[in-house]
Each structure stands twice: as C-alpha cells, then as structure tokens.
Structure 1
Amino acid sequence: MKPETACVNGSNPAAGGSDDPLALSPADRAWVDARLGELSTEDKVGQLFVLSSINDDIDEIERHCALGVGGIHRFPGHDLEKAWAATHAAFERSAVPPLISGDIEGGSLSHFYACPVPNQLGLAAADDLELSRRIARIIAIESRAMGFNWTFSPVVDVNVNFRNPVVGTRSYGSNVDAIIAQAKVLVEELQAQGIAATAKHWPGDGIDDRDQHLVPTVNTLAMDEWDASYGRIYRAMIDAGVMAVMSAHIALPEYIRARDGNPGRDAFKPASLSKTLNLDFLRGELGFRGLIVSDATAMGGLNAWCERAEVVPAVIENGCDVFLFSRDAAADKQLMLDGLRHGLLSEERLEAAVDKVLSLKARLGLHRREPAELLPPLDAARAVLRKPGNMAVVDQASARAITLVKDTQALLPIDPARHKRVTIVVEEGWNFVSGAMPRSSSAFIEALRERGFEVRTFDSEAPPTRDDTDLLIYLIGQEATPAIAQIHIDWIKLHGGARKAMLRFNTEIPTLMVSLGQPYYLYDAPEIATYVNGYSGLDSVQKGVVERLVGEAAFTGVSPVDAFCGLEQARY
C-alpha cells in the first residue's frame, strides 16, 4: 500500500483538477517503489529528517549521513572551496541521493561567493517582473552550481502588521496580487533549473506581531479575510506547481472553530502539529499534492506546545512529510522510532511521508544524475558564480528598489557646498542565520567621501551641533531576521545611553534617515522629514542610495508596504 502516491499523469480529479507537482514517469515511479521496498523501518525514519549543516563542518555532515537522513540543509560559510567540499561530502556519504536545501531568500542571506541579490521586499519595490525573472534565473543557476536542489522560498506571507519582526524584508509586501506575481516568477525559474521551491509559512505569517521562533503565533483572520488573501496566494502557488509547502508553528483558530466549534486550546495548535490544517485543509480542500515540510523543529513556537517525545512523531503523524532540523538528531530519530512503536506515529503516515520524500527526489531526477551533475566540479562552479553580466543585473535591481518615502523639508539633493560636514549615526544590524553576509556601512561612507563630503561617525560624548555639522544621517541596517523579537529604533544604543536617547537634533541640523533593512522606522521617528528605504545593506544598495541622495540618479522604488505605519503624523 502506498498512500498519497503521485499519479503518473499528474491529474487529481478529487482536488478540482490541480496538477500533481510530484507526478512521475513510470520509470521514476518504479525507482520510488523499489526504494520503499528496500528501506528498513529505521532507514525510512531517517529519510524523514532534513538536518542543518552550519559553517561547512564535514564531521557534522558525516554524523548526519550516518543517521540515513533524507537531506542536509546548508548554511555555508564564506569560503567557496570549503562550502563545495562540505556539500560534496553530503552527496558522497548518502546511500540515497540527498536533498540539499537552503534558505535562498536574497539580501543578507545571499551566499557570500554568489551574486548578492536583493531580498524579496527589495524586488517588490523594484516593481519590474521581468527584472525579477532575471534575478530569479541568476539565483537558480548559481544555486544549482553550488549543489542546491531545494530552497525554502518564496516567502509568501502578507506583510500587513508592521510590528511583525520576522516577515518584513523577507516578504514581497502587503499587496496580494504583487505577492502572487513575484512568487510565481521565482517558483517557475527555480523549478525550471531543477530546484524545488517551497511556499512558506503555511497558514500565513504577517498578522501576529510576534515571532514563531520564540512563541506559538496566531493568524487571527476570519476565514473570508483569510480566503481573500492567504487563500488566494496558496491556491496560486498550487496552480503554479510549487513542489513544497512549509507548515509553520502558526495557528489558524477561525478555521478550526468553523469545523470543531470551540475546542479551547486546540484552536491554537500550530499548523506543524495540526492534521486539520495540513491534511484536511491544505491537502484536502486546497488540493496540494506536493511535499509538506515542517518549519524548524528547534523553534520555540513548536516546543512550547508539548514535550519533545510527543512533538517529534506528531509532526509527521499530523501531515508533515519532512521533520526539519533538530537540537539532537540521534535523540530525535530515536523519539520518532519510539513514537512509531507506541502508536504516536502510524505506519500509514510513515509510508506516505517517505513516499513524498522519495517522490520529490525522483521528480528532481536526483537518482538519474551523475555526481558531477548533482554538484559540478569546483572550477565549473567558479565559472558560474558572480559573472560580471549577472552582477550588473543585480546592481540594477538593487538600485531600482531604493524608495524615497518622503522629503517634506526639500532637503534633497544634498551637496558638499551646503552639507560639507556630515555626521552619521550607524546601526548596522545583525542576522541570526549562520553564514549571512557581513554587515558594514563602509560602502555608504566611502561613497559620500568620494563626492567631497567630510564624514565622521556619531560620538555620544560630543554630540553634533549646528556649529560642527551641516547634515546628520541616521543609517539603520536591520533586515528581518529570526529571534529579533521586535522592530524598533534603539535610541539608547544609537545615542549612547538612556538619557541621551531623548536627544533630538532634527530641529537644529538638517537630518535624514536611511533604512538599509526594515521599512518601518518612521513609526519610531515620525519627525524625520527626509526618509529613504533601501531594504538591504548590500554594497550596491549603499552606493545606489548615495547616488540618489546627491541627485546623480532618480528614486524609482515603489513602496510595497505602508512605510508610514498608518500614522498621519509620519507623513509630515
């Protein structure tokens, strides 16, 4: 018996005609069936796991492969040769060809040795689908050259709650039509290059202002509102043939209540543990036939719900096909086996989940590729990465995204004749993700100096005055990242102390603010009369911002969100 197996012709009459993104040829279906017949129960359990590999640690990869895992999620470091060797080790040491996944989202998550592409919000601000397609093609080709065959993107969350700290720059904004259009482009280009795309985070982030990495969060929309937004998006992704959906630690209580009345606490069960949301809703009502992967299982939003011994088998029993990450992989594999023995995980769900994992591998043709096709030789990879023509396209997209939100004081363009002495207050931000791009404001500062400005950084012991400063620039660089808890300007940190946090200079010194990350800082600085959003801290963005501040190029970005955060006060 092979529950939920893929139809060879891809049809699915029971789900309104939706195609099966994992539909297989007879030969590929035979490979899946043969593997299912050969794998022991322990081997099948191993295939459920995709474990993280951080900073190109080959010993860690060897430990993962010894557990017979279905895949390795790569957080590569900044050395291409070491990254290549680590991925090569994953292919070499896996009995069944592994899924090699990544969070390929752009911005500060761009891989160090690949083209530094705009993040999703930046692409939405560039507002050019053909340009987005060219960027997506670059992402796909470079990722394939580095051995990736699966990405946990696009993020299809709706960025409507400006206080949500983890959606922000990772999203395509708040317009549902724009989200669908941009995400479809990425899905099409990735999957055309043999990289499975993943729509996340089911059933939809961006409503709650908390982070599921820290706490179980809630999509509180009524179902008619959900259907008009997230429902439209997920139906569009399914119609576009997306191969995977990530089930998050996010509840959808109104759907549960509509079915089950008032189940109390269970209305807030995370989707990653909810049979109703995964199997009944996503698979049943929406007709999704691809693979469902849980969000990271080390996150607080999952582990705050129940004890680990219950969590581990429940993720698979309740509809996820892949168990993502672990704090202790060997222990979690044992908990999965124990759950199978004690009835917390059924044989039927185990078979169905492993079938999906193997079907994704077969659909990507991993079993039919030679090793050099799964991971090209290092020299071949080098020849693909950071091609000058591709870098030019990336720079064009980064610059096109830069958005002038307001200039009510008519400050721009700035020039050395009027604004010679510049003081910069810098918050470069950080990123939770291992291997993220280094963060620095040096490109911005150097671009100003090249144009004749005298630039000094803010000194909390000698704050700027009109006698020594002609222009004050706040440069904030925080992109959306897990575990940051909230979006805000940390005035204490910026100004160097709690009492100094109350200082304001804009009434005496011409002042502007540039965000190289989250677009929402006017909420904490509504009095700033000139404000620019660049969406990421990439060097190309920093240089592009300076070009526009001095009038060498026009601002062309279109804000994908309400940068005024609903405040009339912030518009002046």
Structure 2
Amino acid sequence: MTDQTLDLLRQAPFHLDEEAVAWVADTATRLEGDSRLMQLFVIGMHGPVGAWTDEIAQLRPGGVMRFFSADGAAEAGLLDRLQDEAEVPLLVSADLEGSRMSLAFGTTVPNPLALAAVNDVALTEGISRIMAEEARAVGVNWSYTPVLDINAAFRSPIVATRGYGAEIDRIEAHALTQAKAFQQAGVAACVKHWPGEGFDDRDQHLLTTVNPLSMDEWEAHFGRLYRAAIAEGVLSVMSAHIALPSFVREGESEAGLEAFRPASLSTALTTDLLRGRLGFNGLIVSDASEMAGVTSFMDVAQAKVEMLRAGCDMILFSQDVPRDLGAIKAALADGSLSRSRVDEALLRVLGLKAALGLHKAGRVPAAARLTQLGKPEAEALARAGFQRAPTLVKDVQNLFPISPDRHKRVLFVTGGIVSPIHGASMAFALPDLMRQRGFAVDVHVAGDAIPTGQYDLVLYGLGEETLLTRGRIFLDWLGLMGNFRLSMRRTWHEMPTAMVSFGYPYYLYDAPRMPAYVNAYCTSDEMQEAVLDCMMGLRPFAGQSPVDAFCGLEDARY
C-alpha cells in the first residue's frame, strides 16, 4: 500500500493524522483472506441479544446494524462484547430517523418531516444532538441519515415522513444541520438515497425506482444537495437502488436497459458521478443489498460483486454470507473484480473507523454511558418539538377548538398505527388521552354503522408514517369502515368531522371534502398529546406544511 494511496485518508472528509494513517496501513496489511473481505460487510442483527455474540465473532464483519429491543442495558452490553472480541473495531450502525425509529430505550424525538414543519434549525440541531449522544451511549457510531430525498411525488410511500419535505432550501438547511450535529457528537452521518428519491412514486424495496430528472434538473435538485453535504464534510453516502437514466445516456445515448441500472450496481452513477463529478472521497455503502430494487435487476449473489465493482465500499446486509463471500472470491479469481478495487474499499472502511477514533483504546463503562439516555432536558426539548409541529391544513367549518362541553361524545375512527417494521397494528393512545380530559370516546368497530345524531364529533385518526414494502399509502375507505356500503358514507353533513394524520401528509387526495384536516407527521404518544392540546386550543397549531398537503388539487382547499 503506497503513501500515494494512503493520501486519500489525509484528505476530506477523513482528515486523518499520521498516527491514524499508520493504523489503517498496519491493519490493512495484517488482514488476509476472508477477514479482509468481511471488512466490506455490514451484518444486520435482529432478535434476541444472546444469539449474536458467537455469530459475529465467527463472521468478523466490518460493521453491524442492530435492530434494537427496548432493553438498553442489554443492547449496550451486546455491543460492548462485540467490540471487545472484534479483530478490528466495528462500525455499529442504525437508522436514526426519529418518531417510531427513535431508540426504544431513549428519548422519543420528532421525525424529519415534523422538524421541517417546525422549520427551526436550532431545534433540529438540538434534536440531532440528542439522537447522536444517546446512540453513542448505547454503542452506535454510524447512522444512515440524514435523508436528502425530495418529497416531490405525493404518492411516494418511501419518502413522506423520512425526509425534510419538498423545498430544497428547507431540506438543505435541516439535513446539513443534522449531519453536522451527528458528526460533532462522534456519529458518522450517511446521506441517502443516492442519486435521489422522491420523483418516482414507487418503493425501491419492491423494484428499481427511477429518478426521471434531466441532468440540468438533477443538478438544481439533488446535485445541489449532495454537493452541499460533501462540502460540509459528510463521511458517507448510501448508494441506493435508484436509476438516473439522464446521466447514463450522456455517455451512451442508446443505453437501453443499462440506463435503468440502479446506482448501487452502476459504475457510472457511483464512481463516475458521485466520486468523479461531485468529488466525494468518503465511504460509500450500498442500501440493503437484498431489496427487490437489486434482486429484480440481477442475481442476489452476483449483485454483491457488482456493488463492489461499481464503487460501493461496504455491502449492507447478507442473508447468506458464505454464498456472497464465495461469489466475491470467485470474481477476484477470474479477474472480473479487481484486487485494487477491494483494497481501495478496505482503505475507506478502515479510514472511517479511524476518523471516528475507533482505533484508540478506552471506553466508558456501559452503566455510566446509559445515564445519558432520557435526560429531563432532552425530553423537554423533544416535547417542545412535538408541540410545535402539528399543522392545521384546513378547517372550513371552524370546528377548532374542541371541548368536552361542546363535543362531549366522540367517535374515533381508525385503522390503528401501521408499521411493517414493528409488526401488527398498534392502538392509538389518543382515545384515552381524550377521556382523561373529559370526553366520552367510543372507538369505531369496522363494519358498524355510524348512527346520525349520537356523536358530537367524528374524529378520523390515521397512523401511517413512511412504510417500507407497502407499495402505496392511501386512504383505504373500505378497510377503514369495514363494509362496502359504509365506505361510501360521509359524516360531515350530519356531525362535526375532522381527520388527523399522524404520519403520511397526503390523505386529502382521497378525502378532498374533509372539512377539518390536521397533519401531525408522527405516530408517537408524545405527538398524540401535542395534537390534542392544539385541537383543544391549549396551544396554537404552529406547524407550517413542508409539503403540498392539497396534492395539487384546488378543490381540496375548500
């Protein structure tokens, strides 16, 4: 490994000193065979804590991603044991996206769309610092955030609440603030989803999505955002399963199917555009490597080889490590994957570890670190964020504020809180919160008729934050009401009626005549309480919509 090769680690965004460069060089020289190749894998860890110590010790990956339980002490203990037994310090990653994607044993914080609705960069900085410090306390040193996607196609189920809205200025301000706060707290930021999601209304978990912008348009949107993140010193980028035909066709006008090759498998997009034209020198990690955005395009094992060849330095997840490791070794043997590409990837993996100081000895005991979780000042700041986010999109009948005196009898109509990641539908806390304040609340049973005159308020509560593998998010009247005839009935001519979305902000597309509509962005109990305060007039609806909640429909405004 030459000094010229190592020089990339002295440059942005790594900025390694000579001691750190020497550690990278010595470690790279020492690693051989499978140990060398396994540094390029991030292994996902689900389920019970005890199952993973031996597994990770045997695999010896470069990084892990833990899907956390609610037991913070057990999780910190697991990660400490893994680090103690690791041949090379581990990158420990998570999706720190807020709301239901907050750490279950830490402070629940607003998600990006809620922060965009508040539009206070100082709040975003404070919330980001809480997230990073609590993540560090449990042992996380790398987050696959912030999201640079643009909420352009309102039917997109994959951006929605994970991004900072539809306005470039707002996205740039908040996303870069989050990245800077994370990295100052010792958590590497990873901007995603390269080369940019949000203009295709499909889900790359299910197919390869397409960024349809011309290169001039792309430069004005995603080019601007990624260039700004690179200039800010972001340490990593996630190359996703998104095609950008306009760039590929610059070099080959008749590219055919190759124009629709996902970025994670594309040398043109990952190496030529991201590394070459934009000048990114940090670590590139693939998005989850067994999503259908990859597997619908090529064989799952061969895709791992193609990701490395295209310019990814790390592969996120493998359901069959021996299979995938074998494919990479075969490609090295036949020359279809160069050893120099693997060496460069390894250099950046180790460089990121050194940039985070993982090569240095010493660690505060877990018990002391965990005292950083859920501090009163953190809970107070998060609560303030929730309170400022609810957005009154419309109230054409002047329903709000509501009160037990005028709206005593309430029917709450809901499909529950839906999250494929967390399993089955979860119940809302809102009915109990309203009962505690003097309302008499019935929860509608799907299939039951809604009797005229029995209620003073019909309140629809929808709980779908950004959903993975759902394909679409929409107002499913049939599923909500449980009956063909009931799905066609509307209550607002007979009784005061309102709808609150605790997630996806676009339900007016399916209910443009809904007289009162609130976007609240997050399904957390904290947000439900904040919305109730706003509905009762105890606090103002202070949020400003970061997206077009009317979906371009003029009639939805009335």
**What's the TM-score, normalizing by structure 2?**
0.97
When residues 244 and 305 of structure 1 are mapped into structure 2, their CA distance, relative to the original with a 3 A threshold, is same
Provide the secondary structure at the position in 2 that maps to 1:415.
coil
CA offsets per residue over residues 392-444 of structure 1, 9 Å max, x none? 1000001101100010111111112221110001122322335x9994312x1
When residues 6 and 499 of structure 1 are mapped into structure 2, their CA distance, relative to the original with a 3 A threshold, is farther
Match of 1:404 in 2: 392
Question: Does residue 153 of structure 1 match 2:145?
Answer: yes
When residues 438 and 108 of structure 1 are mapped into structure 2, their CA distance, relative to the original with a 3 A threshold, is farther
Provide the secondary structure at the position in 2 that maps to 1:111.
coil
Question: Does residue 420 of structure 1 match 2:408?
Answer: yes
CA offsets per residue over residues 218-247 of structure 1, 9 Å max, x none? 000111111101010000000010000000
Maintained 8 Å contact 1:273/1:314: yes
Match of 2:487 in 1: 501
Question: Does residue 549 of structure 1 match 2:541?
Answer: no
Separation in structure 1 between the aligned mates of residue 50 and residue 208 of structure 2, nearest angstrom: 33
CA shift at 1:450, angstroms? 2.2
Separation in structure 1 between the aligned mates of residue 157 and residue 127 of structure 2, nearest angstrom: 25
Provide the secondary structure at the position in 1 that maps to 2:246.
helix
CA offsets per residue over residues 9-29 of structure 1, 9 Å max, x none? 52xxxxxxxxx1112101100
CA offsets per residue over residues 229-285 of structure 1, 9 Å max, x none? 101000000001000000000000001101211210000000000011111110111
Match of 1:381 in 2: 369
Question: Does residue 567 of structure 1 match 2:548?
Answer: no
Question: Does residue 47 of structure 1 match 2:49?
Answer: no
Match of 1:16 in 2: none
When residues 186 and 488 of structure 1 are mapped into structure 2, their CA distance, relative to the original with a 3 A threshold, is same
Provide the secondary structure at the position in 1 that maps to 2:419.
coil
Q: Structure 2: any 5+ residue segments left out of the alignment? A: none
Separation in structure 2 between the aligned mates of residue 72 and residue 561 of structure 1, nearest angstrom: 34
Separation in structure 1 between the aligned mates of residue 448 and residue 467 of structure 2, nearest angstrom: 33
Question: Does residue 83 of structure 1 match 2:70?
Answer: no
Question: Does residue 466 of structure 1 match 2:452?
Answer: yes
Q: Which amino acid aligns with 2:52?
A: E
Separation in structure 1 between the aligned mates of residue 464 and residue 365 of structure 2, nearest angstrom: 36
Which of 433, 436, 440 in structure 2 is aligned with 1:454? 440
Which of 320, 323, 328 in structure 1 is aligned with 2:315? 323
Q: Which amino acid aligns with 1:76?
A: F
Maintained 8 Å contact 1:53/1:61: no
Q: Which amino acid aligns with 1:424?
A: F
Q: Structure 1: any 5+ residue segments left out of the alignment? A: 11-19
When residues 328 and 130 of structure 1 are mapped into structure 2, their CA distance, relative to the original with a 3 A threshold, is same
Match of 1:216 in 2: 208
CA offsets per residue over residues 115-155 of structure 1, 9 Å max, x none? 00100001111111111111111111111101011000001
Maintained 8 Å contact 1:313/1:340: no
Provide the secondary structure at the position in 2 that maps to 1:73.
strand
Provide the secondary structure at the position in 1 that maps to 2:64.
strand
Provide the secondary structure at the position in 1 that maps to 2:80.
helix
CA offsets per residue over residues 508-536 of structure 1, 9 Å max, x none? 11110000111111111111110001100
CA shift at 1:385, angstroms? 0.4
Which of 511, 514, 528 in structure 2 is aligned with 1:528? 514
Question: Does residue 227 of structure 1 match 2:214?
Answer: no
Maintained 8 Å contact 1:522/1:563: yes
Match of 1:14 in 2: none
CA shift at 1:503, angstroms? 2.1
Q: Which amino acid aligns with 2:350?
A: L
Calculate percent identity across the aligned residue pairs.
42
Q: How does 1:88-107 map to 2 (within 5 A)?
A: 88-107=80-99
Deviates more, 1:402-411 or 1:378-387: 378-387
Count of aligned pairs between the two proteins:
557
**Cα RMSD over matched residues?**
1.6
Separation in structure 2 between the aligned mates of residue 33 and residue 381 of structure 1, nearest angstrom: 31
Which of 226, 249, 258 in structure 2 is aligned with 1:257? 249
Separation in structure 1 between the aligned mates of residue 256 and residue 219 of structure 2, nearest angstrom: 23
When residues 499 and 61 of structure 1 are mapped into structure 2, their CA distance, relative to the original with a 3 A threshold, is farther
